[in-house]
Chains A and B, each alone.
Chain A
Amino acid sequence: MARLEERVKNYYQTHSLTLAQIQVIQKAAKPRPYLRLWNNNLLKYAAVILVSLNIFYGLYTFIYEPNTLAEKFAHEIALNYKKGEPVVIESGNIQTLRAGLDKLNFELTLPPSITDNFKLIGGKYCSVDNRIAAQIKLEDENGSEITCYVFKKEEAINFKESIVKEQVKVKLWDDGQRIFGLAVAKK
Chain B
Amino acid sequence: MADSKGIENLLNRGYRYALALTHNKDDAYDLVYSCYLSLREKNKPLVITYLLKTIKNKFIDQKRQLATQSKWQQEVNQPEPYKSKITVEPLLERLLNELPTRNREIMFLSIVEEYTSQEIAELMDMPKGTILSILSRTKKKLQLRLQE
Interface size for A (C-beta < 8 A) is 22
Q: What A residues does B25 contact at CB under 8 A?
A: 15
- Cβ of A7 within 8 Å of any chain B Cβ, yes or no, is yes
**Are A14's CB and B86's CB within 8 A?**
yes
Is B19's CB under 8 angstroms from A25's CB? no
Contact with B112, one of A9, A24, A25 (Cβ below 8 angstroms): A9
A80 to chain B: closest CB distance in Å?
66
Interface-central residue, B37, B41, B112, B143, by most chain A CB under 10 Å:
B112
Complex: how many Å from CA A10 to CA B8? 18
Q: Is the CB of B11 within 8 A of A22?
A: yes
For A28, the closest partner residue in chain B by CB is B37
Contacts of B12 in A (CB 8 A): 16-17
Consensus secondary structure, chain B interface: helix
B111 contacts chain A at the CB level, 8 A cutoff:
yes
- In the bound complex, CA of A9 to CA of B84 (Å): 16
Interface size class of B (residues with CB under 8 A): 20 to 34
C-beta contact mask, B107-148 vs A, less than 8 Å → 1, else 0? 110011000000000000000000000000001001100100
Question: A8 near B92 (CB under 8 angstroms)?
Answer: yes
| Proximity string of chain B (88-105) to chain A, C-beta cutoff 8 Å, 1 when within and 0 when not | 110011001000000000
Minimum C-beta distance from B22 to chain A (A): 12
- Which of A5, A15, A29 contacts B16 (CB under 8 A)? A15
- Would you call B40 an interface residue if the criterion is a C-beta within 8 Å of the partner chain's C-beta atoms? yes
Instruction: Identify 5 residue pairs between A and B in the complex whose beta-carbon atoms are under 8 Å apart, listed by A's number.
Output: A11-B89, A12-B16, A14-B88, A24-B33, A29-B40
Query: Which residues from chain A sit less than 8 Å from chain B, CB to CB?
Result: 1, 4-5, 7-17, 21-22, 24-26, 28-29, 31
Question: Which residues of B approach A to under 8 Å, CB–CB?
Answer: 4, 7-8, 11-12, 15-16, 19-20, 25, 29, 32-33, 36-37, 40-41, 84, 86, 88-89, 92-93, 96, 107-108, 111-112, 139, 142-143, 146
